[in-house]
Amino acid sequence: MNFFKAQDEARGRTAKLVSILILAVLSLAGSLYVLAVIGETKLGLPLDWWQPRMFLATSGLALAVILGGSLLKIVELSKGGSAVAASLGARLVSPYTTDTRERRYLNVVQEMSLASGMPVPDCYVMDGDDTINAFAAGNDPKDAVVGVTVGALKNLNRDELQGVIAHEFSHIANGDMRLNIKIIGMIAGLTALAGLGYILLRLGLSSRSSNEKKSAWPLALAGLVVLIVGWMGMFFARIIQSSVSRQREYLADASAVQFTRNPKGLASALVKVGQLARRPHEVSVAQLEAQHLFFSSSGSFLDSLFATHPPLADRIQRIDPSISIDLSQLSSAECSDEADEAELADSPLLGFNSRTNSFAPSLPERIPSDLEIQEAVRFKGKIPSELRAVSQEPIGAMAIVLGLILRQDPVLRTAQIESARSLAAGEVVKQALTIEPLLTALPAGSRVPLLDLAMPALRQLSATQVSAFRAAIKELSVGTEDGMMVMLIHASMRRYLSVAPDALGSQPDAITVPNHFARVLSAVVITSS
């Protein structure tokens, strides 16, 4: 499978399908006008196709209802990934979980974040669902979440779970979440058009007296016309939506293989999905409504027409043609806890797989060689377990950031510590001094990955706490020797905490930009010497 070619083809097909969807909406507005003109003949009026006022009225009504319904739905879906996860009944996984499978799940998600350069999303589990499935939701990478079913944790080994998580990360990186929101919003608008027609039809048919019926039947006719147009729109929109979703699934599969460099892991996961899908299982209404968000289809009566995912056999063959697609031959044995423990113990960094490149370029870029991947993992070094544990809670995360910018000069360092004692009633400084020996001994190549691991915990702070911490870091970082680290901290806080540009410093100007370039070039010279 040529993954770059598959990505380009899938993107091109998606653009065409979205264009067709827009044209379909415009066609519905025209269809409403045509039916309205024909309906006038029932009132004894001559047939006249050129009626500008009628065209503006019918088209304006259709577009207003469609756009209004779409905007309302988009606003509803814009609450963030956590709201979507909650609506699906998913449970947030604690960073302190002692469950072996959940720890492995958290590790894999952190690996994918480090490999892709994206913020670490919150992790959710759908308890009570023994099928193998996963989802990604949110408006952008900053508020994205990923979730898996408990069946995925039980039945997938580490490589398979990594492939599934990489698939969901691909949806985030490729902007599929935003596309899904737009398509769902458009379908909601078309549903609103059908709903309006139903209301008008009911009003027209609810008249009791003969006089009321004579005057109300045109309203009923108009309602029937709008209802028919709305049904047409819903039918074609769902077909187009399923086509768009199927193409994005192919793109996510191709990108997931690019992430992990292990096609057999993802293909094997899909085989297990098919094997377990043959068992009867319950699907909630919320899952059916959000079926396009998931890793695989849950199955329905109209799967062949409205399926949001391609056939499993087709996906498997595209990823790895050497894998048999005879689902009945696959064993459904669950992964053992002992195997999970071994995987955790053998992992060089949070269970980091040697096939995964921590400095992987963005998805459209080339795939690095195995030698480059091994060199990148070696360069990162190993983060002590004590620092990993500290990075999972807000006070510890703030302490890590503070520790990374402390000055070497004793006098200046003391001044920094005194200025930072107001943070969390001195707890941040206390924690920073505790972990200072570990930070000092930490290899330079491990500092950026540690910063990435610490940033998600800062999202648990309140807006007031975030503002105070930003201001403190801005003040404490002035004159710090490691200007590169200060730049990375500011960039990470912008990315993770969605802060305004002026909150962490003014926009770059003609004077500061050369300084930034100088720091980058200095780092390149130092690391290559």
- Residue 7 is encoded by which pair of tokens? 């990505």
The H-or-E segment that residue 120 falls in is none
- Residue 521 is encoded by which pair of tokens? 């070039």
| Whole-angstrom distance, CA of residue 297 vs CA of residue 299 | 5
Cβ-contact 497, 120 below 8 angstroms: no
| Whole-angstrom distance, CA of residue 186 vs CA of residue 74 | 9
Q: Is 168 a catalytic residue?
A: yes
| Whole-angstrom distance, CA of residue 202 vs CA of residue 215 | 14
Which phi and psi angles does 125 have, rounded to 5°?
Answer: -130, 135
| Whole-angstrom distance, CA of residue 293 vs CA of residue 245 | 9
Picking from 133, 120, 113, the residue whose alpha carbon sits closest to that of residue 93 is 120
Which of the residues 102, 111, 168, 343 is marked catalytic?
168
Beta sheet of 134-137, edge-to-edge order: 91-92, 122-126, 145-149, 134-137
Longest dimension (CA), the chain: 96
Q: Nearest-5° angle of CA 153, CA 158, CA 159?
A: 125
Helices (H) and strands (E) in the chain, counts: 22, 4
Picking from 108, 296, 131, the residue whose alpha carbon sits closest to that of residue 123 is 108
Please give the positions annotated as active site: 168
